[in-house]
Amino acid sequence: MSKLIKELPQNLRSTIVGTAVIIFVFRAMPGPGPGLSWFEIDELKFNEQFFSILSLLASVLTLLGIILLRPFMSNNSIAKIIVVLSIAGAILFLPSVGMYYGFHNWTSSITNGIVDAKFIALINTALESPLGQVSMIPLLAWIAKNAPSHLKATFFAVFASFTNLALSASALGTKYLNEIYTITREVKDKVTNAILTTADYSELGILLITVTLLTLILPILFVFIIQKTRFKTFE
């Protein structure tokens, strides 16, 4: 990466570094881990078919969302985009937090069972799907416009790999959070049917709240810090 940056004009070097760091931090935010899926299966009664529907919906709406959000991406700086996406991401974690505390029971009771846990999960997935990919597009567009013509493909590959490293950082963060907040699922012996591990979701709520706060605070904090230095992102 350092060798590639030297190929850019001096005034652009710091900019692309600051932009890459901000995107890295945004994509490196930890998730709740498997505990949330266990809770959805055991307590909310989601099954494999429903998870497949969610996955398909997420894939389709990611493509659609990128198209619909194109004006937003083209008319705003990467710093503003990351701030907006961080706020949106934190807001979209709230339904999961709410369902842990029984929010879906209340919505189901006042809507005659229409707005139940599955309905909330579908809507939440529809809104959340495009967010992760949107953050990458301004950086790739900037490279396409400003990188030297003979190095564009290399720039794309290197910076995409760098930002994808954030996914590994996210997985590590998820692992460490799950060591702090212990969540277990009931496990039975296949032969005797004896319970080997009891289900314990008592700390899932605080885990979800922690993930929500990290998703909201850390990317915005890094945007604020980067924008105050010579690494200020491009407009």
145: domain CATH number is 1.20.1250
Position 234 scores a pLDDT of 61
Tell me whether residue 166 is in a domain: yes
Q: Are the C-beta atoms of 183 and 203 separated by less than 8 Å?
A: yes
Tell me whether residue 233 is in a domain: no
Tell me whether residue 232 is in a domain: no
pTM equals 0.86
Position 18 scores a pLDDT of 85
Tell me whether residue 173 is in a domain: yes
Closest CA to 1 of 145, 135, 143, 136: 143
DSSP-assigned letter for residue 107: H
Q: Using CA atoms, how far apart are residues 31 and 93, in angstroms rounded to an integer?
A: 10
- The structure tokens listed for 15 are 């900019």
Burial class of residue 59 (count of CB atoms within 10 Å of its CB; 0-12, 13-18, 19+): exposed
Position 113 scores a pLDDT of 87
Which residue range(s) make up the domain with 27? 2-227
Position 13 scores a pLDDT of 79
Q: In a structure prediction context, what are the per-residue pLDDT tens digits for the chain, which is 235 residues long?
A: 777 777 777 777 788 888 888 888 998 999 999 999 999 999 999 998 998 988 888 888 878 877 877 787 778 888 888 898 899 889 989 999 999 999 999 999 999 988 999 999 988 887 777 776 676 777 777 777 777 778 888 888 888 788 788 889 999 999 999 999 999 988 877 778 788 788 899 999 999 999 999 999 999 999 999 998 888 876 5
Q: Are the C-beta atoms of 165 and 180 separated by less than 8 Å?
A: no
Position 132 scores a pLDDT of 64
Place of tokens 């705003």: 76
Domain count of the chain?
A: 1
